[in-house]
Amino acid sequence: MKIKQFLKFEPILKEKIWGGEKLIHELHKKSSKNNIGESWEISDVENDTSIVANGSLKGHSLQYLIATFKEDLVGKKVLHQFGNKFPLLIKYIDAKETLSIQLHPNDKLAKKRHNSFGKTEMWYVMQADENANLIVGFSKEVSAEAYQKHVKNNTLISVLNVDEVKEGDVYFIEPGKIHAIGAGVLVAEIQQTSDITYRIYDWERPNSDGTFRDLHTKEAMDVINYSVEDSYKTAYQKEDNIASEMISCPYFTTNILPITKTKSINHLEKDSFVIYMCVKGSVVFLTKDTSETLHYGETILVPACVKSFEISPTTSAELLEVFIS
């Protein structure tokens, strides 16, 4: 049995002490809460597996889809490499307040300590309030000893790089790179399937019950990348109706695809599922068998066996196109 439909999933909404209301009011996620920080669009994290929201497979889990459709869903290469584990976690993130300053372990250390994938990720800025920023990397050379002093004295921010950001900015966050999303920033995040974070500074911010979130100062010391880059922002080109590469790494490739007219898509050369995140406007995905509308702030998964289809804009639109090379 072949899988023929485009797949949408029920968003898994995460309350956060730093979360806001943009995911509800701007991306139209449904929640009665007002501090939703993350919408997990496609997830195979333990206890947070996505559930299909549309079509004949509605109500089935992502795990069921992989077990049932195997390479038709994810591709031969992906199935061989990752087995029944979906390799990517797809999110939208709204920071009403600045997130903790943090970093993530690589595959080797994450496997040893947590029996997990590491966490390589990227951010695409969908919207940013005036003067909003991101923290990414160091602003100057810092030794391990100096870093420890800054952590102890709560002066770490003085040696970190802070970038004011705008819509369309892209950042690639490798394991070990210190980072934090600043207040007023809405991002699309693509990452390995991992929820392992080493929090190194949390702005002395209490939880609602007066307690504080744990810091992982010791664990982080084995991970930190102290190198300084001239620019942490990823440069890319954008052309209407052309999929242009922004990020390519062993874990995922992400293209930007502006849609201004109906575009025929052919993925015959890809041995992978393809994910589309709508970061502007709305479009309709079409085959001879099915169609599905994708609105701003929604995500769709195209199974690996669906090689040819059309994308037609209902308004001028931009998509992130994500797959494994």
The whole-angstrom separation of Cα 171 and Cα 122 is 6
pLDDT of 158 higher than 80:
yes
Give the rounded distance of the alpha carbon of 141 from its chain centre: 29
Give the model confidence (pLDDT) of 47-62 as tens digits: 999 999 999 999 999 9
142 and 36: one domain? yes
The whole-angstrom separation of Cα 172 and Cα 164 is 16
103 and 250: one domain? no
The per-residue pLDDT for 177 is 98
- The CATH number of the domain holding residue 253 is 2.60.120.10
The per-residue pLDDT for 131 is 97
178 and 109: one domain? yes
pLDDT of 148 higher than 80:
yes
DSSP letter at 5 equals S
192 and 46: one domain? yes
Q: Is residue 5 part of a domain?
A: no
pTM: 0.96
pLDDT of 139 higher than 80:
yes
The per-residue pLDDT for 118 is 92
Give the model confidence (pLDDT) of 189-238 as tens digits: 999 999 999 999 999 888 888 898 899 999 999 999 999 999 999 999 99
Give the burial string for 36-56 (b: 16+ CB within 10 Å, else e). bbbbbbbbbbeeebbbbeeee
Helix boundaries (H) for the chain:
22-25, 62-69, 71-74, 76-82, 107-114, 144-152, 217-221
Largest CA distance in the chain: 63
The whole-angstrom separation of Cα 196 and Cα 118 is 7
217 and 249: one domain? no
For 140, how many CA atoms within 13 A lie in the half-sphere containing its CB? 5
pLDDT tier, 105 (very low <50, low <70, confident <90, very high otherwise): very high
The whole-angstrom separation of Cα 201 and Cα 177 is 14
160 and 286: one domain? no
Q: Is 257 helix (H, G, I), strand (E, B) or coil?
A: strand
Give the burial string for 119-147 (b: 16+ CB within 10 Å, else e). bbbbbbbbbbeeebbbbbbbeeebeeeeb
Q: Is residue 134 part of a domain?
A: yes
Q: Is residue 133 part of a domain?
A: yes
**Mean pLDDT of the 280-294 span:** 96
Last residue in a domain, options 165, 188, 221: 221
205 and 258: one domain? no
199 and 150: one domain? yes
212 and 264: one domain? no
Q: Which of 171, 164, 165 is nearest to 190 (CA)?
A: 171
Average pLDDT, whole number, for the chain? 96
The per-residue pLDDT for 248 is 98
CB 201, CB 101: distance < 8 Å: yes
Percent of the chain at pLDDT > 90 equals 92
The whole-angstrom separation of Cα 72 and Cα 4 is 9
The per-residue pLDDT for 199 is 95
Q: Poorest-confidence range of 41-45, 216-220, 251-255?
A: 216-220
pLDDT of 1 higher than 80:
no
Structurally, how many domains does the chain consist of? 2
Strand partners, 96: none
Give the burial string for 181-194 (b: 16+ CB within 10 Å, else e). bbebbbbbbbbbbb
CB 165, CB 128: distance < 8 Å: yes
The per-residue pLDDT for 79 is 97
pLDDT tier, 2 (very low <50, low <70, confident <90, very high otherwise): confident
Last residue in a domain, options 165, 189, 221: 221
The per-residue pLDDT for 100 is 94
pLDDT tier, 264 (very low <50, low <70, confident <90, very high otherwise): very high
Strand partners, 255: 245, 321
Is the dihedral angle over the CA atoms 286, 253, 258, 12 positive or is it negative? positive
CB 137, CB 229: distance < 8 Å: yes
**Mean pLDDT of the 99-103 span:** 95
pLDDT of 168 higher than 90:
yes
Q: Is residue 268 part of a domain?
A: yes
254 and 186: one domain? no
The per-residue pLDDT for 21 is 96
Q: Is residue 71 part of a domain?
A: yes
Last residue in a domain, options 188, 221, 254: 221
Q: Is residue 85 part of a domain?
A: yes
Range of the domain at 212: 12-221
Q: Is residue 192 part of a domain?
A: yes
The per-residue pLDDT for 209 is 87
206 and 266: one domain? no
pLDDT of 305 higher than 80:
yes
Query: 223: how many CB neighbours lie within 10 A of its CB?
Result: 20
CB 246, CB 236: distance < 8 Å: yes
85 and 157: one domain? yes
Q: Which tokens in the block code for residue 109?
A: 């250390």
The whole-angstrom separation of Cα 316 and Cα 263 is 12
The whole-angstrom separation of Cα 125 and Cα 320 is 11
Residue for token digits 């591709």? Answer: 75
Q: Which of 177, 161, 172 is nearest to 220 (CA)?
A: 177
Q: Is residue 252 part of a domain?
A: yes
